[in-house]
């Protein structure tokens, strides 16, 4: 698999580009979103010819999805749901739950991005949306936690942002829904924190106050 991105590219410049507009006209593309999909389909053919499959952020749905693409849904769950309903594999990574560059607590750190992604929200997240039927649910390939490092300046901060949310992510992806229990998870974290201390991992010690 090769992740090609495909997100957060402003189409304003394509509207102003004579070359882009010429390509659209030559290929009967009505919108810049269709132009993006035209480009991604070309990239997909090349990647497929090398024996690989593309993964792209949910913006690759705009203008039509490439035939074999895997969608990674970061702007909520909508992109993953849409992909699964088209019988394409999807990886769920909604920003409000699965972005570990966000603070772990309200007003915890001014040098973090976006709204807090709370430990409880990570743990209680269910990667398979209720909107999908049993057949469509098979196309939810899993989930992923993301840690972008614009505001993460050293390895200790990387660890601090990851733990213990990474433990919550592991449990929701490895355990059946019916076996999840946040209160029990919190109890078990106390033992996990001792392991962190033993091997020198940085983590948010505010959880020890509870």
At residue 49's C-alpha, the angle toward residues 55 and 143, to 5°, is 15
Cα 12–chain centre separation: 25
Residue 195's contacts (CB-CB under 8 Å, 6 or more residues apart) are 201
- Residue 110 pLDDT exceeds 90: no
- Residue 191 pLDDT exceeds 80: yes
- Residue 207 pLDDT exceeds 80: no
State the average pLDDT over residues 172-198.
93
- Residue 84: the pLDDT is 97
Lowest-confidence pick of 38-47, 72-81, 102-111, 127-136: 102-111
Q: How confident is the model at residue 65 (pLDDT cuts 50, 70, 90)?
A: confident
pLDDT digits (tens, 9 = 90+) for 2-52: 999 988 888 899 999 999 999 999 999 999 999 999 999 999 999 999 999
pTM: predicted TM-score of the whole model, two decimal places: 0.88
Q: Does domain 2-154 have CATH number 3.40.50.2300?
A: no
How far is Cα 190 from Cα 6, in angstroms, rounded to an integer? 40
- Residue 66: the pLDDT is 83
- Residue 109 pLDDT exceeds 70: no
């Amino acid at each position: 698999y090769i992740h090609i991105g495909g997100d957060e590219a402003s189409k304003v410049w394509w509207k102003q580009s004579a070359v882009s507009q010429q390509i659209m006209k030559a290929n009967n593309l009505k919108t810049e979103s269709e132009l993006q999909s035209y480009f991604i389909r070309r990239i997909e053919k090349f990647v497929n010819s090398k024996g690989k499959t593309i993964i792209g952020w949910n913006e690759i749905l705009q203008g039509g999805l490439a035939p074999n693409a895997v969608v990674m849904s970061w702007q909520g769950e909508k992109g993953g749901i849409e992909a699964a309903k088209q019988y394409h594999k999807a990886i769920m990574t909604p920003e409000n739950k699965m972005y570990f560059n966000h603070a772990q607590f309200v007003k915890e750190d001014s040098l973090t991005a976006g709204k807090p992604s709370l430990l409880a929200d990570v743990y209680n997240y269910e990667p398979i949306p209720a909107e999908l039927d049993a057949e469509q649910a098979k196309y939810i390939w899993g989930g992923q936690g993301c840690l972008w490092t614009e505001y993460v300046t050293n390895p200790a901060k990387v660890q601090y942002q990851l733990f213990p949310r990474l433990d919550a992510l592991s449990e929701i992806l490895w355990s059946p829904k019916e076996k999840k229990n946040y209160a029990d998870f919190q109890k078990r974290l106390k033992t996990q924190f001792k392991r962190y201390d033993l091997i020198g991992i940085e983590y948010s010690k505010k959880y020890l106050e509870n």
